[in-house]
Amino acid sequence: MEKIEAQKRIEELRSILNQANYDYYVLDNPQITDQEFDKYLRELENLEREFPEFDSDTSPTKRVGGEVIDRFKKVKHQIPMLSLPDVFDITEIEEFNTRIEKEGVKPTYVCEEKIDGLSVSLHYEKGHLIFAATRGDGITGEDITHNVKTIKSVPLTLKEPIDIEVRGEIYMPKKVLEEINQKRAKENQPLLQNVRNAAAGSIRQLDSKIAAERKLDTWIYHLPNPEDYGIKTHKEALDFMERLGFKVNKNANRVVTGIKEIEEYIKEKTEKRSSLPYEIDGIVIKVNSLESQKQLGFTSKYPKWAIAYKFPAEEVLTTLRDIVFTVGRTGRITPNAVLDPVIVMGSTVKRATLHNEDYVLMKDLKIGDIVSIRKAGDVIPEVVEPKKDRRTGKEVDFQMITNCPICGSILEKKKEQVDHYCMNTACPARKSEALIHFCSRKAMNIDGLGDEIVEDLFNLGFVKKIPDIYRLSDHKQDLIELEGYGNKSVDNLLNAIEDSKGNSLERLLFGLGISGIGDKTALLLVKKFKSMDGFLNAQYEDFENIYDIGPILAQNLYDYFHDLENIALIEELKRIGINMNYLGENERHHDLISGKRFVLTGTLSFTDRDSLSNLLISYGGSTSSSVSKKTDVVIVGENPGSKYDKAKELNIEIWDEEKIKSIVDNL
């Protein structure tokens, strides 16, 4: 075929396929058959292969997935991606309305469904998708273009060749989650917990083939720069985005006036919620007039012109069959509810933590009760209350245990604390829990050393303490001979153990299981101390000075690194060859930030303290909560506290809002 002719046909095919895609995935109204679509797609693929000079990043052939990236690039949002303040009842909505009216605005609102997914920002140049980013901390997100291209409802080419940014939600339809979980259940893989985590997990894949398989979808609901297009209301912005080819939730969105109409919308959506093909977790209420939005402005965290009404968590009934006790790695005893399995918000619940004796007594739970269950924070199942009117008299009173269910030693309860502890440091339950924790995904992430296998290895006597994990190769023959551990899986396991030696320090630090140190705190700490020796040499104040570390955590850390047994353990791990340094995540550098110690005080209008703190840390700075001679810079917002006076007193460099904003804007 002639070049000119090929180019023309390529353009024609792209336009046919884009339209077909739009009809199918945005309008839900296909005009051609799947076979026809595939035929055109194959023809286009062949032509693009033959005439690579006409290749395009936004060709419909790029939707199939297969692009693999080696890491997520950071992307700074030109306009911060804010979230919304949550409200939980109509009174709070009335208060929101009153605040707005007090500003002299007579509002019309747009009510929308609050889609349960993750927000995305899409950027187009001359009508072509150039990149897509996650929200991240609101200031900086991650480039997820390779995965977003596989989402069929995201147009790769718009209906007009304009430059534009739009924002919306990426979500996983309920049916897709069900299908994936059915498959995973058959393959004995852990189930995906809910649509939001499933969508977020899919979008955070380096290999876009996985995202493509997950059949994600979008609703677009926000235009950050409406004035560039002469748009006056949010409703017009929605219509405009729809005309450009985006999937806008037209049938769900509604312009309303007055609280009564908002209430009606909420009532309707509460009833319809379960029959929608996607999850919604609430309603978003936005002031329609963009001029009024501008007048109302923003707080440091949220727009003042919108709120999210969150639905009350779904509650279901089941029977409390038993209460069993587990021993954690610190010796803490937890009572757990054993429930008749029920589905709550898409996943099966069989167990729920009951925290401690007081909690069970406060809820007045009896074994045999009918209880209501909900998902707290939509993920962790929680027993809400017993249905006392359903009692038959056969229910059995709860009795707190007095001895450790594993080693039998007498439990202790410290004064004014609620938890019971097994104090026997040699208690097998404590030891095996500590080992399970060390190998777990967020800690050393040793593939093949899941909870049950670690427990087996512990019971068999092969692994009694952490260093034994790294000596498992001595037991290779035993392992191969054990039922269930094939030759190949033993090799894989030993390789995974060997690989874990190279982990960055935050994994080891978290894996050591220091009381109160979660994975995020571990990361924050290693960014500051850089190496294990940094921790071993630190004084109490070095811990306490860190923003986010309170006196209890500081004491835990100090005690841990001054305990002789722990020091011996760390020395042994060093000898084994486990990495003892923070390897960084391609840490970014900025002359004014890297290596400096910051203290933040007062309110900043363009961001909140947590986000700014994270940003400074990601550039190799550190933050602490109090000003000392070691502080390099104090960042001062509106209504600063005494830290400002202290900074002046100690003659420490002070940056005002304008200064920090100009630095952040140019990162």
Among 114, 196, 527, 590, binds ligand IVH (CB under 6 A): 114
Among 308, 354, 373, 490, binds ligand IVH (CB under 6 A): 308
Q: Which segments within 394-547 are labelled E, that is strand?
A: 396-397, 411-413, 420-422
Q: Does 119 bind ligand IVH (CB under 6 A)?
A: yes
Q: Does 169 bind ligand IVH (CB under 6 A)?
A: yes
Q: How far is the CB of 517 from ligand IVH (least distance, A)?
A: 29
Q: Which is nearer to ligand IVH, 17 or 296 (CB)?
A: 296
Query: What are the φ/ψ torsions at residue 289 (nearest 5 degrees)?
Result: -70, 125
Question: Sign of the CA dihedral 98, 99, 105, 110?
Answer: negative
Q: Which is nearer to ligand IVH, 96 or 421 (CB)?
A: 96
Edge-to-edge strand order for the sheet containing 164-171? 128-134, 118-125, 164-171, 217-222
| Interatomic CA distance for residues 509 and 261, integer angstroms | 53
Only one residue has tokens 């140049």, namely 125
| Interatomic CA distance for residues 252 and 266, integer angstroms | 11
**Cα angle: 312, vertex 316, 319; to 5 degrees:** 145
Is-contact 384 374, C-beta < 8 A?
Answer: yes
Chain centre to alpha carbon of residue 357: 31
Q: Which is nearer to ligand IVH, 62 or 222 (CB)?
A: 222
Q: How far is the CB of 112 from ligand IVH (least distance, A)?
A: 4
At 264, list the tokens. 């009606």
Among 44, 115, 454, 523, binds ligand IVH (CB under 6 A): 115
Q: Which is nearer to ligand IVH, 335 or 346 (CB)?
A: 346
Interface segment toward ligand IVH; rule CB under 6 A; list 110-118, 357-365, 467-475, 494-502: 110-118
Q: How far is the CB of 141 from ligand IVH (least distance, A)?
A: 11
Q: How far is the CB of 233 from ligand IVH (least distance, A)?
A: 15
Question: Given phi > 0 = left and psi -120 to 50 = alpha, else beta, which region is 431?
Answer: alpha
Q: How far is the CB of 72 from ligand IVH (least distance, A)?
A: 18
Q: How far is the CB of 297 from ligand IVH (least distance, A)?
A: 12
Q: Does 616 bind ligand IVH (CB under 6 A)?
A: no
Inter-axis angle of helices 451-460 and 428-439, nearest 10:
130
Q: Which is nearer to ligand IVH, 85 or 467 (CB)?
A: 85
Q: Which is nearer to ligand IVH, 112 or 217 (CB)?
A: 112
Q: How far is the CB of 119 from ligand IVH (least distance, A)?
A: 3
Q: Does 284 bind ligand IVH (CB under 6 A)?
A: yes
Q: How far is the CB of 169 from ligand IVH (least distance, A)?
A: 5
Q: Does 357 bind ligand IVH (CB under 6 A)?
A: no
Site for ligand IVH in 220-259 (CB under 6 A): 221-222
Interface segment toward ligand IVH; rule CB under 6 A; list 53-61, 177-185, 300-308, 318-326: 300-308
Q: Is 528 a catalytic site residue?
A: no
| Interatomic CA distance for residues 641 and 247, integer angstroms | 47
Residues β-bridged to residue 306: 286
- The number of C-alpha atoms within 13 Å of 166 and in the hemisphere containing its C-beta is 32
Q: Which is nearer to ligand IVH, 252 or 517 (CB)?
A: 252
Q: Does 371 bind ligand IVH (CB under 6 A)?
A: no
Interface segment toward ligand IVH; rule CB under 6 A; list 113-121, 354-362, 367-375, 436-444: 113-121
Q: Does 626 bind ligand IVH (CB under 6 A)?
A: no
Query: What is the number of the residue whose Cβ is closest to ligand IVH?
Result: 119
Is-contact 8 16, C-beta < 8 A?
Answer: no
Q: Does 279 bind ligand IVH (CB under 6 A)?
A: no
Q: Does 166 bind ligand IVH (CB under 6 A)?
A: no
Q: Which is nearer to ligand IVH, 308 or 570 (CB)?
A: 308
| Interatomic CA distance for residues 431 and 328, integer angstroms | 9
Q: How far is the CB of 14 from ligand IVH (least distance, A)?
A: 31
Residue 402 DSSP class: S
Q: Which of 114, 235, 431, 528 is catalytic?
A: 114
Task: Tell me how far CA of residue 261 lies from CA of 111, 182, 234, 335, in angstroms.
Answer: 9, 40, 18, 46
Query: What are the φ/ψ torsions at residue 350 (nearest 5 degrees)?
Result: -120, -20
Is-contact 375 381, C-beta < 8 A?
Answer: yes
Kindly state the helix (H) or strand (E) to which residue 381 belongs, with its residue range: strand 380-386
Q: Minimal CA–CA distance to 114: which of 319, 280, 343?
A: 280
Q: Which is nearer to ligand IVH, 225 or 515 (CB)?
A: 225
Among 20, 306, 429, 647, binds ligand IVH (CB under 6 A): 306
**Cα angle: 360, vertex 373, 318; to 5 degrees:** 95
Give Cβ neighbours of residue 200 (< 8 Å, ≥ 6 apart).
Answer: 117, 118
Among 14, 16, 48, 112, binds ligand IVH (CB under 6 A): 112
Q: How far is the CB of 635 from ligand IVH (least distance, A)?
A: 25
Q: How far is the CB of 171 from ligand IVH (least distance, A)?
A: 9
| Interatomic CA distance for residues 643 and 649, integer angstroms | 10
Q: Minimal CA–CA distance to 157: which of 4, 33, 20, 9?
A: 20
Question: Given phi > 0 = left and psi -120 to 50 = alpha, else beta, which region is 513?
Answer: left
**What type of residue is 606?**
F
Please work out the total of residues on this chain that contact ligand IVH, with binding judged by CB under 6 A: 14
Task: Tell me how far CA of residue 346 lies from CA of 82, 242, 349, in angstroms.
Answer: 28, 31, 10
Q: Which is nearer to ligand IVH, 306 or 427 (CB)?
A: 306
Q: What is the CA radius of gyration of the chain?
A: 28
Q: How far is the CB of 115 from ligand IVH (least distance, A)?
A: 4
Q: Which is nearer to ligand IVH, 308 or 660 (CB)?
A: 308
Q: Which is nearer to ligand IVH, 237 or 435 (CB)?
A: 237
Site for ligand IVH in 52-91 (CB under 6 A): 82-84
Give Cβ neighbours of residue 178 (< 8 Å, ≥ 6 apart).
Answer: 346
Residues β-bridged to residue 342: 349
Give Cβ neighbours of residue 417 (< 8 Å, ≥ 6 apart).
Answer: none
Q: Minimal CA–CA distance to 113: which of 305, 272, 240?
A: 272
Write out the DSSP string of 398-424.
----SB-TTT-PBEEE-TT---EEE--
Instruction: Report, as residue numbers or ranges, the catalytic residues.
Output: 114
Contacting residues toward ligand IVH, per CB under 6 A: 82-84, 112, 114-115, 119, 169, 221-222, 284, 303, 306, 308
